[in-house]
Chain A
Amino acid sequence: MSKGVAITGMGIISAIGNNVAENYQSLISETKGISRISKIETTHQNDIMVGEIDYTNQELEDLLGLTPDNNYSRTAFLGAIAAKEALNNANISDINKYKTGLVSATSVGGMDMTEKYYYEYLENKAHRKYIAGHNAGDSSQKIAEQLGIEQSLVTTISTACSSAANAIMLGARLIKSGQLDRVIVGGSDCLSKFTINGFKTLMILSDTYNTPFDDNRKGLNLGEAAAFLVLESDAVVNSENKKVLAYVKGYGNANDAFHQTASSDNGDGATLAMEKALQVANYSPKDIDYINAHGTATGNNDLSEGRAIIRVFGEDVPDFSSTKAYTGHTLAAAGAVEAVYSVLALQNNVIFPNLNFKTQMQEFSITPQLTPKEKPLQTVMSNSFGFGGNCSTVIFSKVG
Chain B
Amino acid sequence: MKRVYINSVGSISAQKTYENNNFLSEIIEYNDTVIPALDPNYKDYIPPAAARRMAKGIKMSIVASKIALQDAGLEQVDAIITGTGMGCLRDSEKFLSNILDNDEQYLTPTPFIQSTHNTVGGQIALELQCKGYNFTYVHGSSSFESCLIDAKLQLEQNEAQNILVGGVDEIGEHTVKLLKLVDQIKTEPVKSSELLLSNTKGVVFSEGANFFVFSNQQQSSTYAEIVGVNIYNTLPKDGISYTAENFLKDYNLSVDDIDLVVLGNNGDVRYDDYYSTLTSGIFKEILQAYYKHLSGEFHTASSFGFWLAANILKAQSLPDLVKLNDKNISQFKNILLYNQYCGENHSFTLLRKC
Q: Which residue of B lies closest to A44 (CB)?
A: B104
Q: Which of B90-138 contact A (CB under 8 A)?
A: 95-97, 99-100, 103-105, 107-109, 112-113, 115-119, 121-123, 125-126, 128-138
Q: Which of A138-194 contact B (CB under 8 A)?
A: 138, 140-141, 144, 149-160, 166, 170, 173-174, 177, 179, 193-194
Determine the interface band of chain A, counting residues with CB < 8 A from chain B. 35 or more
- Other-chain residue from A134, A253, A259 in contact with B133 (beta carbon distance below 8 A): A253
Question: Which residues on B sit within 8 Å (CB–CB) of A177?
Answer: 153, 156-157
Kindly state the separation between the CA atoms of A265 and B343 in the bound complex, as whole angstroms.
47
The tally of CB-CB contacts under 8 A between chains A and B is: 205
Kindly state the separation between the CA atoms of A388 and B132 in the bound complex, as whole angstroms.
13
Question: Which residues on B sit within 8 Å (CB–CB) of A149?
Answer: 233
**CB–CB B112/A198 < 8 A:** yes
Give the interface segment out of A117-125, A220-228, A229-237: A117-125
Kindly state the separation between the CA atoms of A1 and B154 in the bound complex, as whole angstroms.
13
Interface of A is mostly: mixed
A375 at the interface (CB under 8 A from B): no
**CB–CB A155/B134 < 8 A:** no
Question: Which residues on A sit within 8 Å (CB–CB) of B104?
Answer: 42-44, 193, 197, 200
Minimum C-beta distance from A386 to chain B (A): 7
Q: Which residue of B lies closest to A119 (CB)?
A: B100
- Other-chain residue from A118, A135, A152 in contact with B233 (beta carbon distance below 8 A): A152
- Other-chain residue from A114, A141, A151 in contact with B96 (beta carbon distance below 8 A): A114
Q: Mark B312-344, 1 if CB is under 8 A from A, else 0.
A: 000000000000000000000000000000101
- Other-chain residue from B122, B139, B243, B299 in contact with A387 (beta carbon distance below 8 A): B122
Question: Which residues on A sit within 8 Å (CB–CB) of B97?
Answer: 118
Binding site for B on A (CB under 8 A): 1, 42-44, 102, 106-107, 109, 111, 114-115, 118-119, 121-122, 128, 131-132, 134-138, 140-141, 144, 149-160, 166, 170, 173-174, 177, 179, 193-194, 197-198, 200-202, 253-261, 268-269, 272, 386-390
A/B interface sample: 28 pairs, CB < 8 A: A137-B143, A151-B233, A153-B230, A155-B139, A156-B139, A156-B143, A157-B136, A158-B116, A158-B137, A159-B135, A177-B157, A197-B95, A197-B112, A202-B113, A254-B132, A254-B134, A255-B125, A255-B131, A255-B133, A257-B125, A259-B126, A387-B113, A387-B118, A387-B122, A388-B118, A388-B121, A389-B126, A390-B118
Binding site for A on B (CB under 8 A): 80, 85-87, 95-97, 99-100, 103-105, 107-109, 112-113, 115-119, 121-123, 125-126, 128-140, 142-143, 146, 149-150, 153, 156-157, 174, 177-179, 181-182, 184, 230-235, 239, 243, 299, 342, 344-345
